[in-house]
């Protein structure tokens, strides 16, 4: 099972320089991939391209770019550029986004999100696989009167979706290569997410999907204080219906309840639970919450787990 980390350079240092430095530390610890979230700040495909070129030991990915406020043509260009820069080690994560950020930030109505996701995936698959598109949907049009190829980019950038609800999982299984659930504990993963996306992929005649579980967690001795801090930091997600639902399906009430916080033995056991629930890859986020010492301690453990047999 592949194990990676989500990098979030939030200090006063130049974010690009800090991300490269953190990625080098992650690679030295034995981690296999580095992922970058998309907010209103740094452009995650550019960040992934730079880091992936500077740290060739790592696969890199975005988790995840909302489909509202974007168009498949420029996103495909970003993805193909990152794929060429990293010589085939880039993974594109997409998301529905949220009503709050879509309507407040972009001034766009958050309407028909599943239909938009389906059209976006269909168009961007054409673009990333062939460098051309001729797609005319209800919500999106993507055509290429001139070529949209990026020489050096491998055909077929892996497409993943941060899907957790039934309709989004169905679309993901049918049209993407896998899913990127966040704050979904092993119970929600094994009982709801994995069966739904796998069944949809099978019905569509597609290969078994990748299940890249994004886990918020850290190795620390100060469990109570860190969990309190994490619960406060993640409270925003509890306002979002899809996250609230998956937290409940995981057996939690607060977002902090599904975070993995404890000593090495505790965290290793939880990683095994994710694997047993169907995760093909585990990516730890929020490892910086308890400071550099615990972050490096967490990365060392995850690097060791990445080297162990999965059987």
| pLDDT single digits (tens) 84-128 | 999 999 999 999 998 888 989 999 999 999 999 999 999 999 999
pLDDT in tens, 130-159: 999 999 999 999 999 998 889 888 768 999
Length of the chain equals 311
Q: Is residue 307 predicted with pLDDT exceeding 80?
A: no
Which of 196, 179, 43, 166 lies closest to 121, judged by CA? 179
**Residues 246 and 281 sit within 8 Å (Cβ to Cβ):** no
**What is the spatial distance between Cα 182 and Cα 284, in angstroms, rounded to a whole number?**
10
Lowest mean pLDDT among 10-24, 145-159, 271-285: 145-159
Structure-derived torsion over alpha carbons of residues 125, 282, 198, 100, reported in degrees to the nearest 10: -60
The mean per-residue pLDDT over the stretch 174-187 comes to 97
Q: How far apart are the first and last CA of the chain?
A: 10
Q: Band of the pLDDT at 309, cuts 50, 70, 90?
A: low
Q: Compute how many other C-beta atoms are within 10 angstroms of the C-beta atom of residue 21.
A: 17
Report how many helices (DSSP H) and strands (DSSP E) the chain contains, helices first. 12, 12
pTM (two decimals): 0.94
pLDDT in tens, 31-44: 999 999 998 889 99
Q: What's residue 12's pLDDT?
A: 79
Q: What's residue 156's pLDDT?
A: 81
Instruction: Compute the Cα dihedral for 158, 190, 29, 12 and give only its sign.
Output: positive
Q: Which helix (H) or strand (E) holds 242?
A: helix 241-249
Provide the CA 11 distance to its chain's centre, in angstroms: 22
Tell me which fold the domain 2-307 belongs to. TIM Barrel (3.20.20)
Mean pLDDT of the chain: 95
**What is the spatial distance between Cα 153 and Cα 155, in angstroms, rounded to a whole number?**
6
Tell me the three state secondary structure of residue 268: helix
Q: How far is CA 37 from CA 44, 48, 275, in A?
A: 6, 10, 23
| Pairing outcome for strands 134-136 and 141-143 | antiparallel
**What is the spatial distance between Cα 309 and Cα 69, in angstroms, rounded to a whole number?**
42
196-228: string of b/e by CB count within 10 Å (b at 16+)?
bbbebbeeeeeeebbbbbbbbbbbbeeeeebbe
For residue 215, the cross-strand partners are 284
Write out the two tokens for 181: 């659930």
Q: In the chain, what are the domain boundaries?
A: 2-307
Per the model's pLDDT, the better-predicted residue between 22 and 151 turns out to be 22
**What is the spatial distance between Cα 182 and Cα 164, in angstroms, rounded to a whole number?**
8
The mean per-residue pLDDT over the stretch 79-84 comes to 96
């Amino acid at each position: 099972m592949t194990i990676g980390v989500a990098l979030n350079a939030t200090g006063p240092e130049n974010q690009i320089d800090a991300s490269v430095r953190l990625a080098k530390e992650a690679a030295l610890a034995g981690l296999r991939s580095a992922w970058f979230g998309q907010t209103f700040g740094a452009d995650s495909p550019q960040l992934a391209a730079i880091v992936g070129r500077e740290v060739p030991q790592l696969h890199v990915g975005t988790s995840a770019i909302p489909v509202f406020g974007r168009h498949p043509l420029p996103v495909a260009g970003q993805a193909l550029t990152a794929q060429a820069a990293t010589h085939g080690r880039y993974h594109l994560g997409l998301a529905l986004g949220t009503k709050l950020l879509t309507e407040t930030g972009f001034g766009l109505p958050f309407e028909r999100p599943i239909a938009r996701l389906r059209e976006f995936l269909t168009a961007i698959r054409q673009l990333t696989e062939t460098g051309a598109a001729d797609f005319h949907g209800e919500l999106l049009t993507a055509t290429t009167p001139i070529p949209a190829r990026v020489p050096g980019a491998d055909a077929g950038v892996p497409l993943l979706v941060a899907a957790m609800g039934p309709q989004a999982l169905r679309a993901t299984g049918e049209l993407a290569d896998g899913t990127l659930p966040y704050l979904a504990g092993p119970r929600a993963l094994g009982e709801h997410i994995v069966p739904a996306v796998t069944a949809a992929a099978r019905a569509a005649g597609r290969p078994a999907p990748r299940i890249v579980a994004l886990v918020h967690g850290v190795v620390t001795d100060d469990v109570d204080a860190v969990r309190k801090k994490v619960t406060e930091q993640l409270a925003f997600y509890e306002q979002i219906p899809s996250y609230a639902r998956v937290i409940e399906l995981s057996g939690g009430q607060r977002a902090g309840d599904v975070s993995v916080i404890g000593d090495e033995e505790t965290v290793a056991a939880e990683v095994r639970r994710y694997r047993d629930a169907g995760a093909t890859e585990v990516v730890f986020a929020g490892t910086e919450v308890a400071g550099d010492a615990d972050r490096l301690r967490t990365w060392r453990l995850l690097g060791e787990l990445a080297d162990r047999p999965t059987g």
